[in-house]
Amino acid sequence: MEPWNFPYYQLARVAGPQLMRRYTNLFISHGQTGRVIADARIKAVALTRSFDAGRIIAADADKAVKISSMELGGMGADV
C-alpha cells in the first residue's frame, strides 16, 4: 500500500533535480558533432533519430568519455 501522496513524491523526486539543472539543446550540422562532443563544456549527449546517426554520435561520445542517451529507430516493435 502506497501513501496518498506517492504520485506527487515520484514526480518531485525525479523532476525536481532535473528542473534545477540548466540544459541547452544544440541544433548542429553533421560535420560539427565531433568537435562539439569533444568540447570540455559538454557533459552529456542525447540523440533521437536514426541508427546511422546514433552509431556516429555514440562513437564520438565514447572517444570523449561522455554520458550518452540514444533513442533510435521508428515506432515499430521490430526495430
- How many Cβ atoms sit within 10 Å of the Cβ of residue 57? 22
What is the residue range of 44's domain?
A: 23-72
Distances in whole angstroms, Cα of residue 16 to Cα of each of 19, 30, 42, 70 = 5, 33, 22, 23
User: How many structural domains is the chain composed of?
Assistant: 1
Using one digit for the tens of pLDDT, what is the confidence trace for 33-79?
999 999 999 988 988 878 888 899 999 999 999 999 888 876 655 54
- The answer to whether the predicted template modeling score (pTM) of the entire model surpasses 0.75 is no
Q: What is the mean pLDDT of residues 14-35?
A: 81
60 within some domain: yes
Report residue 5's pLDDT band, with 50, 70 and 90 as the boundaries: low
44 within some domain: yes
